[in-house]
Amino acid sequence: MSVNEWLAIAMLVSFFGLLMAGLPVALTLAVSGFVFGYLGFGPLLFNLVPARIFGVVTNYTLLAIPLFVFMGVMLEKSRLAEDLMEVVAHLAGGLRGGIGVGIILVGVVMGATTGIVGATVVTLGLLTLPGLLRRGYDKGLACGAICASGTLGQIIPPSLVLILLADIMNESVGTLFAAAVLPGLMLSALFCLYILAIGIFRPDMVPPVSAAERAALSWGQLWIKLLKVALPPFGLVLAVLGSIIAGIAAPTEAASMGALGAIVVTIVGGRFSWSVLWATMADTAKITGQMMFILICAQVFAIAFRGLGGERLVEDMFALLPGGVAAEIWFMLLIVFLLGFFIEWIEICYIAVPLFLPIFQAQSVDLVWVGMLVCVMLQTSFLTPPFGWALFFLRGVAPAEVKTGDIYRGVIPFIGLQVAATVVVFLFPALALWLPSAIGW
């Protein structure tokens, strides 16, 4: 190997070393990129960086990110999940596991509105975990359902992951949104079926809502509240996603309408105030600033790694794998899974995924299908002990009676379902490709 290729390997090692030492991810990317890039190129690297950064900050597609973040944070401030869970608790009736299924359904709605894993897990943990424990739910199952439900925002549109992958893969955002619909719904259905199966075979783990609690609202009051609570956010999501998938509006245009619609939904729900609007704007600026800073620092790392011959090293490594394209895809998914223990999905998307794309493009592999596999696998890494991010989020808001071991135990079955879903999408690419093809993308 050449000197530059050794530098590329050393850069990867230093990146993980600095990460383990506790440095922020963005600074770790920039420091390792600048140091080893300078050793390999000299000052030439610094001439290339400004153009790449300018390309990121002027990317029209990425303008959708702060707008979708605003939409999600505003709906979170509207206490959408709280209202939905109250209705679900009554609709579940005497069904064993009904509230657990309701948590998954609320996770689907919040995934389609907020798209932020941390916000969804924390919100569901605060609102539902104490009530589940009070009703006699198994601690592990309750924690597992909340964590699994929270990660659905990684794949259910309008996921921020899909927006970034569309930019990286040079694919239409609408295409990836359409491709994610069936895998996301399939995964949600698997979670619901598992909880209902627990209700059949282990009814003591998922007791039904008591008759006294169900009697608190009449059916007429319940349906009125359901229409008031569920219709506005569902209508907003359908309008935003439908306009993108149907080609009526660009992602940025639809995102701006979604942000405005979130304000309207909050007003309709009687939860709007100027303090809520100010808090939403502050959180949006904070989240967007963090994401963009990471993307900018990732450009330094990417330029240095590619210039040092890192892509060629990856290609040589893939050439040694037996099993052809299938083995290469699963090797990439394994890398994504392992990286999910240590770094955020933004860095994985902008650092790891581009390394493998030229290999798949050279073999005419459908990148939309690959993107869906990456999304499902990213969800799996968010759940996997001991470093899964969703576990940390829930641990921070769980009652003292819930131990870390309960959370770890509860997510194991859902990890198995995630892996099963990945295998199904791998074996049946039509799950990801049928809808984009049917609507002409």
User: What is the rounded average pLDDT of the residues 183-192?
Assistant: 92
Q: What is the pLDDT of residue 149?
A: 86
- DSSP one-letter string for 309-346: THHHHHHHHHHT-TTHHHHHHHHHHHHHHHHTTTS-HH
User: What pLDDT does 193 receive?
Assistant: 93
Q: CB of 430 within 8 A of CB of 437?
A: no
Residue 197 pLDDT exceeds 70? yes
Measure the CA–CA gap between 337 and 374, rounded to whole angstroms: 9
Cα angle for residues 395, 401, 404 (degrees, 5° grid): 40
How many structural domains does the chain have? 1
pLDDT (mean) for 115-131 = 73
With both helix axes pointing from N to C terminus, report the angle between 324-339 and 353-362 in degrees, rounded to the nearest 10.
170
Q: What pLDDT is attached to residue 318?
A: 64
Rg (CA), the chain: 22
Domain residues for the domain of 156 are 3-438
Cα 29–chain centre separation: 22
Q: Read off the pTM.
A: 0.78
What is the structure's pLDDT at 217? 62
pLDDT of 424 higher than 90: yes
- Reading phi first (left if > 0) and then psi (alpha if -120 to 50, else beta), residue 58 is in alpha
Q: If you search the block for the tokens 């505003």, which residue do you land on?
A: 74
Euclidean distance between CA atoms 285 and 255, whole angstroms: 16
Q: Range with the lowest mean pLDDT among 136-140, 328-332, 341-345?
A: 341-345
Answer yes or no: is pLDDT of 151 > 90.
Answer: no
Residue 189 has what pLDDT?
92
**Contact in structure between 264 and 78 (CB atoms under 8 Å):** no
| Average pLDDT of the chain to the nearest whole number | 80
User: What pLDDT is attached to residue 244?
Assistant: 74
286 vs 5: CA distance, rounded Å: 37
39's CB contacts (< 8 A; 6+ apart) are 7
- For residue range 378-397, what is the model confidence (pLDDT) as tens digits? 888 778 876 677 887 787 77
Q: What is the pLDDT of residues 54-65, one digit of tens each?
A: 877 787 777 777
